[in-house]
C-alpha cells in the first residue's frame, strides 16, 4: 500500500522527467522552456521573470540572452521607467512555445488515457484543486 506522499513524489518526478526528455529531444533547456511558456502570458520584466522562475536576475539575464540569440524573444526599454527591460515573444518564439506546449499536452494526454474513463472527471477536478492549493502555499514561501 503506498501513501499519498509517495504518490505525489512519484507522479511529480515522473512528470518532470517527461518534461526534461521531451525537451532534451529538441534544443531548449528546461528553464528556457518554462520561460517561453511564461511569456505566452504577455510582456514581463526581468525581475518578475526571475522571481517567477525562482532564479537570480543574473541567471534570468542569461536565459533571456539565449532565447534572444535565437530570435524567440525581444527586449524593449520600459517607457515610464528606462531601467526596466520588458521581454516579449517574437512570432518565432510564439511558435516555439506552442510546439513545446503541444508536446506537453501529448504527454499528459497519454497519462490521462491510462486512467479508467469513469475516474477521469474526478482526477481532472482533483488536479485543479491541487494546483490551486499549491499556488496558495507557494505565495507564502520565502525561505532561502
Which ranges of 25-144 would DSSP assign to H, the alpha helix? 30-39, 46-53, 57-69, 91-113, 120-140
Phi and psi at residue 85, to the nearest 5°: -120, 120
One residue of 28, 32, 34, 93 binding a second copy per CB under 8 A: 34
Q: Find the shortest distance in angstroms from Cβ 30 to a second copy.
A: 10
Q: Does residue 82 belong to the site contacting a second copy (CB under 8 A)? A: no
Q: Which lies closer to a second copy via its Cβ, residue 77 or residue 120?
A: 120
When asked if residue 16 is in the footprint of a second copy (CB under 8 A), the reply is yes
The CA distance from 79 to 68, in Å, is 20
User: Could you say which residues in the range 84-143 bind DNA, by CB under 7 A?
Assistant: 84-86
Q: Give the span between the Cα atoms of 126 and 22, in whole angstroms.
A: 25
Binds 81, which of DNA, a second copy, none (CB < 5 to 8 A, cut-off by type)? DNA
Residue 54 phi/psi, 5-degree rounding, is: 60, 45
The dihedral through the CA atoms of 114, 120, 123, 124 has a sign that is: positive
Shortest Å distance, C-beta 37 to a second copy? 8
67-86 footprint of DNA as x/- string (CB under 7 A): --------x-----xxxxxx
| Residue 51 binds a second copy (CB under 8 A) | no
Please state, in angstroms and rounded to a whole number, the distance separating the CA atoms of residues 107 and 111.
7
Question: Which lies closer to a second copy via its Cβ, residue 76 or residue 132?
Answer: 132
Quick check: 31 and 53 in contact, CB under 8 A? Answer: yes
Point out which residues bind DNA (CB under 7 A): 29, 31-32, 45-48, 54-66, 75, 81-86
Amino acid at each position: 500500500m503506498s501513501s499519498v506522499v509517495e504518490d505525489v513524489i512519484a507522479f511529480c518526478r515522473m512528470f518532470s522527467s517527461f518534461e526534461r526528455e521531451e525537451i532534451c529531444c529538441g534544443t531548449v533547456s528546461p528553464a528556457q522552456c518554462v520561460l517561453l511558456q511564461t511569456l505566452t502570458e504577455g510582456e514581463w520584466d526581468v525581475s518578475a521573470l526571475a522571481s517567477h522562475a525562482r532564479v537570480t536576475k543574473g541567471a534570468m539575464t542569461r536565459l533571456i540572452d539565449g532565447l534572444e540569440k535565437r530570435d524567440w524573444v525581444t527586449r524593449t526599454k520600459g517607457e515610464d521607467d528606462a531601467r526596466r527591460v520588458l521581454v516579449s515573444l517574437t512570432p518565432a518564439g510564439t511558435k516555439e512555445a506552442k510546439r513545446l506546449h503541444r508536446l506537453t499536452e501529448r504527454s499528459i494526454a497519454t497519462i490521462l488515457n491510462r486512467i479508467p474513463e469513469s475516474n477521469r472527471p474526478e482526477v481532472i477536478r482533483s488536479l485543479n484543486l491541487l494546483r490551486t492549493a499549491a499556488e496558495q502555499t507557494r505565495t507564502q514561501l520565502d525561505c532561502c
